[in-house]
Structure 1
Amino acid sequence: MDVQKNTIQKKSFVKRPVGILKKQLGYTREFFHPNLARIIIPTLPYEALDCSGEKILPWSLMKLFDSCEISDFWPFQDEPQGPAHDKVMYILNYELEIDEALYTSDSPKVPLIIDNTVKYVKNASRFTESILRHPEVERQYAKCSGIEVNMDPETRKPKPFPLWWKEHFNFPTEGSKREFKLPTKPKANVFSSEHRVCFSDTDENKHMNYTVYVRFCCDSFCENVLAGKYGVSLDVYEIGVKKLQISYLNECNLGDILTVASWEDKVIKNAYHFEIWNGSVLSATVTISYHNFFNIEKCSRL
């Protein structure tokens, strides 16, 4: 394949519709360095709240962070090699932490700032961190971090980042390995529910979007609490996600019937573990801990 044809094909990935959409969300952007971008957003979108308009939906926060993805706003490269890389990233693991302040109505929500940092770039993977905050509040509202792998869009296998690209931007190359492992699953008090992957659960990569794993787990958790299977001290209408950790193991696709198995942590209060099975294949593991706002008089949620 000649250089010109290769460049044209690569541009098609960078300019795919979802990338264009992200650039039209009305965000103000500041670039301090290719490793650091600041995105200023008007406020949380209405879709980030549940039906009551009170609780923040964690998968909506994940989508908010994704809409500020740092590489979607990198300057376009005109070198013969084409743009930075084919924009198909597979997430290995992901962590989201939500401070109690984000749930309270007395903490300012306009404007909000997201600082995105590339912590390191290795052969075919990178580690990024994003922090959501208000410019006049010292404590951070939320933080997400993830390890992603650059994938070949055809073979769906890891594809090394171009050496010239890493050298050009001088990204850090060293960083600690991160893994999230569940404790041993108990023999009793493990509860299961089924979820079908619908078309609206999929994305442009033609598999179930990474945020849907969290939604399935949260739905299963609430169903089990309401059924009295665990979390007897919790009111699902008086809680908010505090922290979640996900390890993505295998893709899920349209029409798959997934089984979510979950149990309560015996040591950490208000923490629960989840396994998402696609038949006999383990697709993801998730740990979620919750803020419990029940009987806290001064905690007025959004």
Structure 2
Amino acid sequence: MDVEKDTKQKRSLVKRPVGILKKQLGYTREFPHPNLVRIIIPTLPYEALDCSGEKILPWSLMKLFDSCEPSDFWPNQDEPKGPVHDKVLYMLNYELEIDEALYTSDSPKFPLIIDNTVKYVKRASRFTETILRHPEVERPYVRCSGVDVNMDPETRKPKTFPLWWKEHFNFPTEGPKREFKIPPKPAKVFSSEHRVYFSDTDENKHMNYTVYVRFCCDSFYENVLAGKYGASLDVYEIGVKKLQITYLKECNLGDILTVESWEDEFTKDTYHFEIWNGSDLSATVTISYYNFRNGQSSRL
């Protein structure tokens, strides 16, 4: 291997200004294990709440966990244990599970601890798991996991992780393959359109992976209010319980996306979504909701 090229590669830093990020958000960090980053945050910001000021928006949690990307918090070459890997990661699939306690007003919300673990790293993909909890509460508030792929920023094709980087952190290399399936689309579905604005994009110059969830939720609320499905639901009295999303093709600034959705035939308060960019299927999503209306789901 070209020694000079390898040295330059090792010296490269992630593009995100991590030092500034940690200072602005008031994060502190610990390293209980080389593959585990523990991040302590003061609390969830007001912007993470919905219009009622009660429930946490799922895409706000996704953004929070994205800001706690483990490699952003690993020591860099200016610290004793450096270096870090300069990467561009595209999400392949993502699962988010929210405990009902996160929606209750009397459950403690500060400080909060985020444990972000790299479960395994394969040739060009990795599996990470994130847990949000309070030190005095037994059950975790949120559990999420994602499979992402290391991409070449120019070709937009998978790029093998550097061997030195994998060896440096001694990542596990074996883990189960994960896929999320949605049931076949019925004859009758409900559609809504969404335009990708600049504020929906990120530094990778495409629509951020959290926005897919926001578009699905907005489409869902629109259809419930129009009486198309979810007759027993009050959109101001529900909260996301679990979501699973598979990303198929990226979307870009100015794209007009069509969200098609339908109610699950067998599972109560569960809905499926397809996000279309013209003739291309960009993502599939399943979302299950807590129904707080009329005491159907208890609030502490």
Return the TM-score normalized by structure 1: 0.92
Could you tell me how far apart the structure 2 residues matched to 1:10 and 1:165 are? 8
For residues 207-286 of structure 1, what are the structure 2 equivalents within 5 Å? 207-286=206-285
Q: Which moved more, 1:162-171 or 1:40-49?
A: 162-171
The whole-number CA distance in structure 2 between the counterparts of 1:233 and 1:270 is: 9
State the number of aligned residues: 295
Question: Once the two structures are superposed, what CA deviation does each residue of 1:84-107 show, in whole Å capped at 9, x if it has no partner?
Answer: 432210100000000000000111
Equivalents in 2 of 1:246, 1:154: separation in Å?
Answer: 25
Which digits, 9 at most, give the CA deviation of each residue in 1:59-101, with x for residues without a partner? 00101111111110111148xxx94432210100000000000
**Cα gap change, 1:132 to 1:16, in 2 (>3 Å):** closer
* Structure 2: gaps of 5 or more residues: none
Q: Is the 8 A contact 2:22 2:28 kept in 1?
A: no
The aligned residue for residue 179 of structure 2 is 179
State the shift of 1:10 in Å: 7.0
Distance in 2 separating the partners of 1:28 and 1:98: 23
| Deviation (angstroms), 1:8 | 5.4
CA contact (8 A) 2:13 2:76 kept: no
1:134 aligns with 2:134: yes
- Cα gap change, 1:46/1:8 in structure 2, threshold over 3 Å: closer, same or farther? farther
CA–CA separation in structure 2 for the residues paired with 1:120 and 1:298: 37
Q: Aligned-residue CA RMSD in angstroms?
A: 2.0
The one-letter amino acid of 1:279's match is: G
Look up the SS of the partner of 1:14 in the other structure. coil
1: CA distance between counterparts of 2:129 and 2:213?
19
1:70 equivalent in alignment to 2:60: no
Q: How many Å separate the matches in 2 of 1:183 and 1:298?
A: 29
2:105 maps to which residue?
105
List, as ranges, runs of 4+ consecutive aligned residues in structure 1 with deviation greater than 3 Å: 1-13
Aligned to 1:33: 33
Deviation at 1:58, TM superposition (A): 0.5
Decide whether the 8 Å contact of 1:14 with 1:83 is kept in 2.
no
CA shift for structure 1 position 299 = 1.5
Measured against aligned partners, the alpha-carbon deviations of 1:233-291 in whole angstroms (never above 9, x if no partner) come to 00000000000000000000000000000000011110000000000000000000000
1:170 aligns with 2:194: no
Paired amino acid for 2:68: C
